């Protein structure tokens, strides 16, 4: 018998989201049914609603979640009913060319549930990032459930399921930030502040936060930024160079996903430095750079998919650091809200009032 629960659905491009009754099947082979306890509102949910990711409407939004496994299908041995889990969108396959080369964080054939969740009239839903967790229950592949210490607060732990992991991983995994580095982070929302926290964990000596909103810059200091630049008031490239002996930063992380801020990142890094693009652009965006500068500046231009994380390795480790008081996950939770407040949370995000609004169920 499918489970009838409430979920937040985006029906068409740009339209306000609505609460709908959705049908969630019992788990089949390899699948898990999860009672969602928390789900953060990520900018990527808004990208979906605006048609910026693809056109597979209707979407069941939400993908930054923690919950309790309620039931598992045949053949599932890694998780069991009652387990506290963070949902991930990288259930690695172990068989694709990336996995076979020992680089599973790039897995090109990640698993999702085989069965579809639907609206009451049978319309199939596209779950955001293969998760769909703005819902009382959701159906995922069992590999999307990563068991972590249940002592962690669900609101905080769930954020590791997307934005906070993407940011920390952009710094540590993709950018390879290490002790003594200078790091600049452009865009200090949940993802950018997590990159700042990651750089601080890795021992960066200088961490420069760049945003157009002073309130965001103040929060960034709380996660470990040593310097801040309001790029409405001063040229961020000049400011980052001035703060790094005239050279630019070793690692510059772009956490917005726009051509103009990517260009700032490109010119604000030191020779042989690294640019990490973790912000997600829309399909229409283009960038033009002098090829001689791409060559002449050396180093590397990288993208960070989900912080190049391996959930089974990174989630339990980061939850442990959180429980030891070494990673302030609670600091990302600006407010807790109900399922019916997601649209309001999008507006607050756009006005820059929150790092994360977290839906509690
Ligand atoms: N790569 C991944 O795997 C991954 C995962 C999660 C989210 N993301 C993406 O990361 C990006 C950030 O997500 P978020 O949830 O932190 O969003 P957010 O809206 O909370 O934060 C964006 C921040 O950028 C600032 N900003 C906007 N325009 C700016 C400009 N021109 N110059 C400087 N600062 C500017 C805003 O003031 C805000 O603080 C989004 O594009 C999101 O889709 C990527
Ligand atoms: Zn794979
Ligand atoms: Zn996300």
Residue 108 Cα to ligand 2 middle (Å): 5
Which residues, including other chains, have CB under 8 Å from residue 100's CB and lie 6 or more apart? none
The pLDDT tens digits for 79-131 are 999 999 999 999 999 999 999 999 999 999 999 999 999 999 999 999 999 99
Q: First and final CA of the chain: distance in angstroms?
A: 22
Residue 14 Cα to ligand 1 middle (Å): 19
Band the pLDDT of 318: cuts 50, 70, 90. very high
Q: If residue 276 lies in a helix (H) or strand (E), which one and from where to where?
A: strand 269-277
Task: Kindly tell me the burial class for residue 106, based on how many C-beta atoms sit within 10 Å of its own C-beta (0-12, 13-18, 19 or more).
Answer: middle
277 lines ligand 1 (CB under 6 A): no
Report which bound ligand comes closest to the CA of 306: 1
159 lines ligand 1 (CB under 6 A): no
Best probe residue, ligand 1, of 191, 275, 280 (max atoms within 8 Å of C-beta): 191
Q: Which sign, positive or negative, has the C-alpha torsion 34, 39, 43, 47?
A: positive
| Tokens found for residue 354 | 């929150």
Please identify, by atom number, the ligand 1 atom nearest to the C-alpha of residue 356. Answer: 20
Which alpha helices (H) appear in 202-284, and where do they start and end?
A: 214-222, 236-243, 259-267
57 lines ligand 1 (CB under 6 A): no
The CA-CA-CA angle for residues 110, 258, 185, to 5°, reads 85
| Burial state string for 298-316 with b = 16 or more CB within 10 A and e = fewer than 16 | eeebbebbbbbbbbbebbb
Q: Which residues pair with 185 in a beta bridge?
A: 209, 253
163 lines ligand 1 (CB under 6 A): yes
CA distance 97 to 229: 42
The pLDDT tens digits for 25-41 are 999 999 999 999 999 99
CB-based neighbours (< 5 A) of ligand 3, an ion? 42, 44, 162-163
Average pLDDT over residues 129-155: 98
Please identify, by atom number, the ligand 1 atom nearest to the C-alpha of residue 187. Answer: 24
Task: Kindly tell me the burial class for residue 323, based on how many C-beta atoms sit within 10 Å of its own C-beta (0-12, 13-18, 19 or more).
Answer: middle
Q: Are 162 and 128 in contact (CB under 8 A)?
A: no
Q: What is the mean pLDDT of the chain?
A: 97
CA distance 193 to 199: 10
CA distance 209 to 205: 13
CA distance 50 to 118: 21
90 lines ligand 1 (CB under 6 A): no
Residue 1 has pLDDT above 90, yes or no: no
Q: Are 227 and 243 in contact (CB under 8 A)?
A: yes
Please identify, by atom number, the ligand 1 atom nearest to the C-alpha of residue 307. Answer: 3
Band the pLDDT of 361: cuts 50, 70, 90. very high
195 lines ligand 1 (CB under 6 A): no
Which residue, chain included where needed, has tokens 């054939």? 109
């Amino acid at each position: 018998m499918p489970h009838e629960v409430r979920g937040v659905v985006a029906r068409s491009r740009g339209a306000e989201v609505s609460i709908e009754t959705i049908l969630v099947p019992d788990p089949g082979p390899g699948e898990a049914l999860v009672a969602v306890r928390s789900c953060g509102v990520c900018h990527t949910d808004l990208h979906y609603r605006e048609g910026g990711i693809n056109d597979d409407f209707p979407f069941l939004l939400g993908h930054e979640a923690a919950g309790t496994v309620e039931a598992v299908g045949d053949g599932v041995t890694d998780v069991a009913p009652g387990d506290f889990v963070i949902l991930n969108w990288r259930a690695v396959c172990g068989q694709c060319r990336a996995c076979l080369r020992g680089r599973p964080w790039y897995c090109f054939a990640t698993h999702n549930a085989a069965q579809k969740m639907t609206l009451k009239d049978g319309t199939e839903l596209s779950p955001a990032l293969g998760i769909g967790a703005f819902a009382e229950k959701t159906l995922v592949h069992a590999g999307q459930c990563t068991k972590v210490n249940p002592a962690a607060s669900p609101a905080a732990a769930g954020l590791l399921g997307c934005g906070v992991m993407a940011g920390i991983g952009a710094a540590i995994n993709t950018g390879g930030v290490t002790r003594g580095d200078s790091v600049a982070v452009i865009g200090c929302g949940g993802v950018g502040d997590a990159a700042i926290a990651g750089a601080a964990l890795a021992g960066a000596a200088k961490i420069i936060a760049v945003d157009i909103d002073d309130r965001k810059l103040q929060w960034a200091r709380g996660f470990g930024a040593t310097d801040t630049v309001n790029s409405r008031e001063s040229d961020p490239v000049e400011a980052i160079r001035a703060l790094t002996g005239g050279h630019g930063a070793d690692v510059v992380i772009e956490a917005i996903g726009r051509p103009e801020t990517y260009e700032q990142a490109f010119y604000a890094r030191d020779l042989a430095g690294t640019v990490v693009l973790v912000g997600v652009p829309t399909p229409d965006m283009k960038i033009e750079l002098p090829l001689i500068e791409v060559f002449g500046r050396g180093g590397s231009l990288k993208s960070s998919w989900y912080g190049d994380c391996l959930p089974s390795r990174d989630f339990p480790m980061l939850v442990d650091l959180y429980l030891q008081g070494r990673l302030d996950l609670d600091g990302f939770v600006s407010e807790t809200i109900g399922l019916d407040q997601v649209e309001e949370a999008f507006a607050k995000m756009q006005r820059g009032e929150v790092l994360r609004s977290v839906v509690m169920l």
